[in-house]
Amino acid sequence: MKRLLIAAVALWPLVNSQAGDWRGYVEFEGTVFFEDPAYAEQSNSDLSIAAEPEYIREWNNGDDIFTFKPFYRVDQRDNHRTHGDLRELSWIHAADDWEILAGVGKVFWGVTEAVHLVDIVNQTDLVESFDGEEKLGQPMIDLSLIRDWGVVDLFILPWFRERTFPSEDGRPRFAIPIDKNDPIYESGAEQHHVDFAARWSNSIGAWDIGLSYFYGTSREPRFVIQPTAIDPVTGTVSETKPLYEIINQASIDLQAIYGSWLWKLEAFTRGGQGDRFASAAGGFEYTFVGVRESAIDVGIIAEYLYDGRDDEIGSTEIMPGTPFSTSPFQNDLVLGTRITLNDMQSTELLVVGIIDLEGNGQTFSMEASRRVGSNWIVALEGSAFSNVPENTSLASFKKDSNIRLKLTRYF
Amino acid sequence: MTPARILPALLLCLLPVCVHAETAEEKALAIAVEADNRDSGFVDYTNDTQMILRNKQGQESIRVIRSKTLEVDGDGDKSLTIFDEPNDVKGTALLSFTHKEGPDDQWLYLPALKRVKRIASDNKSGPFMGSEFAYEDITSQEVEKYTYKYLRDDSFDGMDVFVFERYPVDKKSGYTRQIIWMDKEHYKERKIEFYDRKDTLLKTLLFTDYNQYQDRFWRAHQMDMENHQTGKSTRLLQSNYKYGTGLRERDFDQNSLKRAR
């Protein structure tokens, strides 16, 4: 991170002396929790402010692009959520049948709504949002070869980004706070391990297809509980440490469009974290266009989630020193609706419920947003957990149902 | 009719003047084909668009977009549209492949997520950026997307015009029919009335401020769409047309969509 900031400062004169374009946002956020917290360090509310400016300069008729996008957040309660990141600092060059991106960048792979299984290049910025949709900038070289039979992307990922985790004051957080400062690496090279990825993607008629392979440090860690001290009163004091192992992962993402139907599938098989396992998500989104002769679109989302791993966190059987994973969606059904008003204010509503088919509770999320004036977006987000049993990874969050108001000024 | 009376009629039709009486459908189709021919061969162009959305109370909201368009031999045009305003959608881009037959292909790029989303082709009747223009109003108007019927000759705004109806082939269209007023000199639309699925007048579109490019192609710099059912309207101002900019297929793939800024 420090190096990246130094690089950013070094590039500043370039940014400042040339004609380019600034854009970005400043966001004000307030969160209220419905129940008293599960852990004494947590609070019933939180205020936060974040900014993400972006500088873009194009030359050679848009065939060369320089992008600089820093991010910073200040959080009232959680000092881990008060953090900065270099989201992007990259140069893109486009030629006739190839493109290259060098620097810090972000790529997205995948099609499904509730989970993003195959999206592996960038690390999750978990303190930003618990749904895992926010990502940290990833140093990379991405060479795209553009052919008649599809696009091949070859990635070299020379520096590993560690996942962010909430502090003891953060909410929601895991029951045993994760010690992000002292992770365990399988590779002796630790963050210097050079990771590789390759992807072929193509659009054939109604189909969008992607096949990907990744070899390197797993973005998703397993965890290990380590005793760190003996307390005379409470006995052994333990810490949960992230364990970053070297994995190989092959994945597929598929999407087909037929009229108002969007069919989606994502699946991967991963080796390197204990036994090889597979994970999959698939389903559809059907859109009723212009319901009752209005401009309003109503989409129905249904997905099934499968994960070959056991959900071990929260289990009393976790032995100190034995790696375990946090994967709440073994056998779950996703049902949701997306309502788009298509009005001048771009009003939208998305409600999604994830129902554990083995009786391990339900999680709900809601996102509503609307433009106010020409430069502000007001958004209301909610999440709720219900009927969550003790022995699941969601148990740590069962008192954390909340509602969040976001006011974002775009410029 | 007795055979004795058919015979003279058949003989009459052997004369060159009476090869075949042109039906109203054929006449309108011929006009649409001629209009399309006059607009063919542009190869490529770029332009800027400002949209002024006005609600019933007169409140305004501005949209600014930039577009690149490529003519495709034997099929519909390809276009890439980049959104500049409002600021919250700055950098969002839309890639469209229109087809003479079958549904168009559309992908939307969301820059914050770096995600390309396929758009369901059935949403063609939906509003474009909250305006009174539907997606199907702004995508390339291929001859094959409609059937036609000639109504009458008329005059409009001091010009001689053809007036004809066209009926969308696609069942997912938001319209049962459209009535076109097209000038006889340049074969350009001057006015279109849109009738909804209940065959009630929904919108009227007026084309003004035509400018000629490359000594051939006429482009309306102003288009005013009025929705009679909601009282809302949208003014579309086009500017900065550039022809022969050297765009290629490569400028209209998903990589270029992700590079749009």
- Chain A environment of B105 (Cβ under 8 Å): 203
Q: Which residue stretches of chain B have pLDDT < 50?
A: 1-2
- Chain A environment of B118 (Cβ under 8 Å): 208, 255, 257, 262
What chain A holds in terms of domains, given with CATH numbers, is 2-410 (2.40.160.10)
The contacts of residue B23 (CB under 8 Å, 6+ apart) are none
CA B108 to CA B46: how far, in whole Å? 19
The answer to whether A371 contacts B103, with C-beta atoms less than 8 Å apart, is: no
The separation between CA B114 and the C-alpha centre of its own chain, rounded to angstroms, equals 30
Helices (H), A55-120: none
Residues 118-177 of chain A with CB under 8 A from chain B are 133, 144, 146, 151
The beta-carbon neighbor of A108 closest among B90, B113, B120 is: B113
What does the pLDDT read at residue A192?
96
Instruction: Report the percent of chain A where pLDDT is more than 90.
Output: 72
CB A4 within 8 A of CB A10: no
CB A383 within 8 A of CB A302: no
Interface residue of B104, B110, B114 to substitute, partner A, most A CBs within 10 Å: B114
The beta-carbon neighbor of A144 closest among B86, B196, B255 is: B255
A131-183 tens-digit pLDDT:
888 999 999 999 999 999 999 999 999 999 999 999 999 999 888 778 888 89
Minimum distance, in Å, between the CA of residue A127 and any CA atom of chain B = 17
How would residue A5 be classed by pLDDT, with cut points 50, 70 and 90?
low
The beta-carbon neighbor of A374 closest among B62, B126, B250 is: B62
What does the pLDDT read at residue B1?
44
CB A326 within 8 A of CB A313: yes
The answer to whether B118 contacts A375, with C-beta atoms less than 8 Å apart, is: no
The answer to whether B174 contacts A290, with C-beta atoms less than 8 Å apart, is: yes
What does the pLDDT read at residue A144?
97
- Residues of B with a Cβ under 8 Å from any A Cβ are 53, 55, 61-62, 85-91, 103, 105, 113-115, 118, 120-123, 125-127, 130, 172, 174, 196-198, 250, 253-256, 259, 261
Minimum distance, in Å, between the CA of residue A295 and any CA atom of chain B = 6
Residue predicted with more confidence, A321 or B129: B129
Which chain A residue has its CA at the smallest distance from B64's CA? A374
Residue A108 in contact with partner chain B when CB distance is under 8 A: yes
The answer to whether A94 contacts B255, with C-beta atoms less than 8 Å apart, is: yes
Residue B12 vs residues B2, B6, B18, B21, B186: alpha-carbon distances, Å: 16, 10, 7, 13, 36
- Chain B environment of A259 (Cβ under 8 Å): 103, 120-122, 172
Of A108-112, A223-227, B61-65, the poorest mean pLDDT is in: A223-227
Q: What is the pTM of this model?
A: 0.89
Interface A-B, measured as beta-carbon pairs within 8 A, has a size of 98
How would residue A13 be classed by pLDDT, with cut points 50, 70 and 90?
low
Rounded mean pLDDT, A313-318 = 56
What is the 8-class DSSP label of residue A347?
Answer: -
A329-338 tens-digit pLDDT:
889 999 999 9
What does the pLDDT read at residue A50?
97
What does the pLDDT read at residue B126?
87
The answer to whether A374 contacts B127, with C-beta atoms less than 8 Å apart, is: no
Which chain B residue has its CA at the smallest distance from A264's CA? B118
What does the pLDDT read at residue B94?
95
Of A40-54, A310-324, B236-250, the poorest mean pLDDT is in: A310-324
Mean of pLDDT over chain A = 90
Residue predicted with more confidence, A219 or A181: A219
The sheet with strand A222-231 has its strands ordered as A184-185, A235-244, A222-231
- Chain B environment of A97 (Cβ under 8 Å): 250
What does the pLDDT read at residue A197?
98
In this model, does residue A290 exceed pLDDT 60? yes
Label residue B234 left, alpha or beta by phi (over 0 means left) and psi (-120 to 50 means alpha): beta
What chain B holds in terms of domains, given with CATH numbers, is 24-259 (2.50.20.10)
Residue A357 in contact with partner chain B when CB distance is under 8 A: no
Of A28-37, A88-97, A177-186, the poorest mean pLDDT is in: A177-186
The answer to whether B174 contacts A344, with C-beta atoms less than 8 Å apart, is: no
Amino acid (one-letter) located at A162: E
Amino acid (one-letter) located at B103: P
Is A313 in a helix, a strand, or coil? coil
Minimum distance, in Å, between the CA of residue B176 and any CA atom of chain A = 13
First-to-final CA distance of chain A: 26
